[in-house]
Each structure stands twice: as structure tokens, then as C-alpha cells.
Amino acid sequence: MRIQLEIFLGTLFTVLTLALFMYAGFNEESRMAEWTVEQQAKSIEQGASLFSQACAGCHGPQGQGVPNLAPALNSKAFFATRLEEVGWAGSMEDYIRSTISAGRVVSTRPDLYVGGGRPAMPSWSEEYGGPFRRDEIDNLVAYVLNWEEEALRQPDVTEEPIDGVGVDITLELPEGDAARGEQLAIAQGCTGCHVAQPVGPGWMPTDTEPGVGARAEQRFQQADYTGNAVDASQYLFESTVLPNAYVVEGFLENLMPQDYGEKITAQQLADLIAYMLSLR
């Protein structure tokens, strides 16, 4: 009886073990699919954090691009036409990974963005001298690709014409709002060059010089000033719409877009000037 019981129990445990293996096997595919989704979600979340730190200053907080500074990534045009535009034969994923990793020494569209092609995009991968590990690059790629499905559903947009402020710096502007001006400076990419990166003269005060608002009160009175402003507001007006009228020592002509007089309204410029004047 004892031997028979041992045989019975052994057979029972063997059957139960096989049943567990079979159950796990039948559910392995769905389990792996769930695990993949979870890992992808984590990667996108981590990529979002990295994008906010390193990329949003030029490409916008949600990848919508910054006019005259860097193109939109979260857009129908990027996912639908970008590969053909640059002649890339591989996949979108490989294109994004390659561009983030190695950066761009020269812009592919210098007519649209500041600097005549320079500065372009820095390299971000450690393999090319940048700060990010390979897994962090993968997370950034996952975050950008996360926009593709929704971006491709975006309707084609026809831009409405803007009543630009023009280039007459004696024009009387409406009262400006500094808070709105700050938001406009971010949206138009001004902070990308004048705050985040030393492409143009810095706006914020430092240990060695005051902010742009205080400096504007002195610039137009300097002996080397070549513009036509008679006060700080006109100087900032001129610097925005006629940036080559006076180029601050140490910087080059044509780094800043020349067409803001066509692209922003009088109210927007008034807000922008109010913001710059507040930076003391």
C-alpha cells in the first residue's frame, strides 16, 4: 500500500507540474506582450524627461518646433516626408537614433533656421562625445516615435497671414505684458539662443553684467552703436526686427532671423520688449 501511495503521489505531482508548465506556456505570449508594453511605457516616460532637459529648448516642450530655431518633430510633415526630404533609405527609428546620437555639424535647411547652418544640432550620444548612454538615446527615440501615430492623423494646416509689425522702430506700440512676452520668447525660440545657449547675447543677468533690460538703456548711447534707436524700447525693437543694424561685439551678422517684422504683431513685440526690459 505504501509503494502504491508513493507511486500515486509521484504521478499526481508530475501531472500537476506538467499542467503548470503547459499553463505558463499557453500564457507566455500574452505575458511577454504585456511586459513589452510596460517596458515601452517606461522607456517613453524616461525619454520624455530627457527630452525636456536637452531638446525642448530648441524643438519645443511638446516637439512642436520653434520657429527659426529648430523643426517640429511632433508633426505630420516630419513623419510623412522627412525621410524622403533628406534622402534617408532606412527606417524612421534609425533616422531619429542616428540624428540624436551624432547630431548635425551643418543644418540640412539653413534657409529656415538661424546661423546659416551653424550652429546646428550637437551630438548627444557618448559614442560621439555627448552626455547620454545608449539606453538613454533609446529612450529619447522611443519618446519621439511615440508621437508618430497621432501626428500622422493631423490635418494639413494652412497658416493664416500675420499683420506683421514691420521695421519702423518709431512706430508707437501698444502697452506690453511681460508675462505674455516671456511665453512668446519661449515659443519663438528666443530663449533657445539668448538664455539656454550662447548663440546670441545673453538676456539674463550674470556675475559680470546686468540683464538685457538694463543693458538696453546703455547700448544705443555707446560710441560704436550703428543703429537709429533713441531709447531702450526702440533699441530692443530694432534688435528684433533689424538685427544687423547693430551687432554686439563678439557676435556675427545674420545669426538672428531677419524677418521677425513680418512674423510677429505689434502687440506681440510690445509684450516681448516688456519682458526683455524686466530682465535687469
pLDDT tens-place values along the chain, 280 residues long: 777 777 877 787 887 888 787 776 777 677 667 767 788 899 999 999 999 988 987 888 889 887 767 888 999 999 999 999 888 999 999 999 999 999 887 676 666 665 444 556 889 999 999 999 999 999 999 999 999 999 999 887 666 788 999 999 999 999 999 999 998 888 777 887 888 767 789 999 999 999 999 999 999 999 999 999 999 999 999 999 999 999 999 888 887 888 899 989 999 999 999 999 999 9
**Alpha-carbon gap, residue 119 to 142, rounded angstroms:** 26
- Quote the pLDDT of residue 117: 46
The whole model's pTM is what?
A: 0.60
Specify the domain boundaries for CATH 1.10.760.10 within the chain.
178-278
Q: How many CA atoms lie within 13 A of 239 on its CB side?
A: 26
Question: How far is CA 59 from each of CA 75, 106, 111, 264, rounded to the nearest angstrom?
Answer: 11, 17, 17, 19
According to the CATH classification, is domain 178-278 in 1.10.760.10? yes
